[in-house]
Amino acid sequence: MKTHALLLIATLLSLTGCGGSSTPINNATNLDHIYTYLETEIPEAQLDPASCVNYSQACTVQQLPFIALSYPQTRREDIMARVVVSHDWMGARFQALLTRLPTEVITLMGSITAIVIADNIRPSFYWTGSGAIYIDPADLWLTNEEKSTILKSPDYRDDFGELLAYDFFHRFIKDGQYAYFYYPLDGAQERDIEDIVVPMASLLFHELAHANDFMPQQLISSLDLSQTTRSELNRLAPQRLNIELATSYPLTSQELFNHAAILYQGTEPTEQQQSDSAAYLGSLMQEEGANHLYSYLNQAEDVAMLFQASMLKKSFDVDMDSAFVIKPQGSDLSCADYLVGWGVRNRIADTQTKPRAQFISQRILPDSDFNNFFDNLESEQTFPALINWCNTSLSETRRTSFNNKGKVFRRGHQHGLLIR
C-alpha cells in the first residue's frame, strides 16, 4: 500500500509540473480584457487580483493571497473583493447569487485566490497557476442583453468520442423532474435568478472541491508567502485529498480510465473501444465506487464529482442521474432517442460509493457533520432496461417528459475542468 501511495504522489507531481505558470488550453486563451469588479483598497504587498489571474505572470502567495489567508472569517463582501470580470453585470450577478447559495460555498471559497468571470471562458475551470476559479457566464445571465455579451463557441470537448457506440450522460433531478432547465445562448428566452441557483451551486461545488483538495484550508497558515502559488501547491501535493481517496478507496478499472480519456480528453479509440457497449461499460462501473465516468479522468475529478453530487443532495435534495446511453443514429434527435444501457440515480447511496463520498465530504468541510446525512440517504435507483433518457420518473410506462432538440441531451459539462 505504501508503494502504491508513493507512486500516486510521483504521478501527480509529474502531472502538475514545477516553476512558472503555463497558459491553460481552452477557449479563454486571452484574458487581457478582465478587471477587478470592485474598487477596493489593496494592501501594499498585494497586487490587483486581475493582474495575477490573466496568465501574464506567476504571482507569489503574498501578491495574491488565498481568501482565507486574508480573511480568516470569510464574509461575502470579502469574496467580492476578489471577483474579476469582463463585464459589470457578471460581478453584480455573482454578488446577488452569493446571498442565495448555501453558506458552505462561502467557507469553501477560502481556498481560492479569486473568482474570474469572463465572456470567453468555456468551460469553467480551476487553475493551479493562480489558485483561482474561472467561471463560464453561460449559467449567470438573465437577460438577452447580458447573453449577447457571451462567447457562443461550444465546449471544445463536445465532439470527443464521436466514434463510440455509447455516450455518458448526467443530469440533476428533484422530485422526479429536472432540477433546472437548460437555456441556450442562441435562444430568445430570459430567466430569473432562481433559475440559476442550482446550476451555479453545482458548478461551484465542483470547482471549489478542486480548490480545497489542492489547498486544504488547515494548511494555509503554513504557506511560504514569498513563493508562487503554483510552487506552494506543488510543495503540498503529497497531502492532497485525492491521493488519500485513491489510496484508501481506489478505482481500478483500466477500461473505464481508457474510455474517460477518449470522452473527455479526445484520445483516439481503438476498434474494440468503438464497439464497447453502454451495458458492458455500465457493468464495469457497477463494480466500483465512482458516481460518474468523469471520475476516471484523474483522481482529482473523482473527488470533485463525489463532492458535487453529495452537496447538491444535502443542500437542495437534488439527485444526480448517471448513465451510459446507447448512441442513436441521425441528426435531429431528442432525449427520447437515447436509450439507457446502464444508469443509476443517487449513486452516492451505493454501498461502495457512499463511504468514498462521505470520506471526501467530511475532509473538505471538517466543521460539518455528515454522519446523519449519509446515514439517512434513500437508496439509489437503477434505471429500467432500455428506458429512454426523457423519462425522468424512471417509470417504464412514461415515455416522454421533455422533448427539446439538440445538444442539451449530450454530456452537459456542468463539472468544469481542473487545469494544472
Q: How many CB atoms lie within 10 A of CB 113?
A: 27
Q: Cβ–Cβ contacts within 10 Å for residue 366, how many?
A: 11
Q: Region 269-298: what's the mean pLDDT?
A: 97
Structure confidence at residue 414 (pLDDT): 52
Q: How far apart are CA 275 and CA 14, in angstroms?
A: 33
Specify the pLDDT at position 30.
Answer: 86
pTM of the predicted model over 0.95: no
Q: How confident is the model at residue 334 (pLDDT cuts 50, 70, 90)?
A: confident
pLDDT tens digits along 24-55: 555 567 899 999 999 988 999 999 999 999 88
pLDDT score recorded for residue 396: 61
Q: How confident is the model at residue 415 (pLDDT cuts 50, 70, 90)?
A: low
Nearest to 267, CA basis, from 278, 256, 275, 259: 259
Element housing 319 (H / E)? strand 319-326
Average pLDDT over residues 369-382: 97
% of the chain at pLDDT higher than 70: 87
pLDDT at 93 over 70: yes
**Residue 23 binned pLDDT confidence (cut-offs 50, 70, 90):** low
The string of DSSP letters for 51-107 reads HHSSSS---BTTTS--HHHH-SS--HHHHHTTEEESSHHHHHHHHHHHTTS-HHHHH
User: Residue for cell digits 463582501?
Assistant: 77
Local confidence band at 344 (pLDDT 50, 70, 90 cut-offs): very high
Neighbours of 406 (CB within 10 A): 13
What is the predicted pLDDT for the residue at 51?
Answer: 95
Range in 60-74, 110-124, 389-403 with the lowest mean pLDDT: 389-403
- Report whether pLDDT(369) > 70: yes
pLDDT score at 412 = 55
| Number of Cβ atoms within 10 Å of the Cβ of 376 | 8
DSSP structure class, residue 194: G
Mean local confidence (pLDDT), 321-332: 92
Q: What would the mean pLDDT of 102-117 be, rounded to a whole number? A: 98
Read off the pLDDT of residues 160-204 as tens digits, 9 standing for 90 and up.
888 999 999 999 999 999 999 989 999 999 999 999 999 999 999
Mean pLDDT of the chain, nearest integer: 89
Find the mean pLDDT for residues 85-101: 98
For residue 4, pLDDT over 70 is answered with no
- Residue 56, pLDDT > 80, answer no
How far is the C-alpha of 98 from the C-alpha of 38, rounded, in Å? 15
Q: What is the pLDDT of residue 329?
A: 87
List 168's β-bridge partners, or say none. 324
**Which pLDDT band, with edges at 50, 70 and 90, does 22 fall under?**
low
pLDDT of 301 higher than 50: yes
Q: Which residues contact 329 (CB under 8 A, 6 or more apart)?
A: none
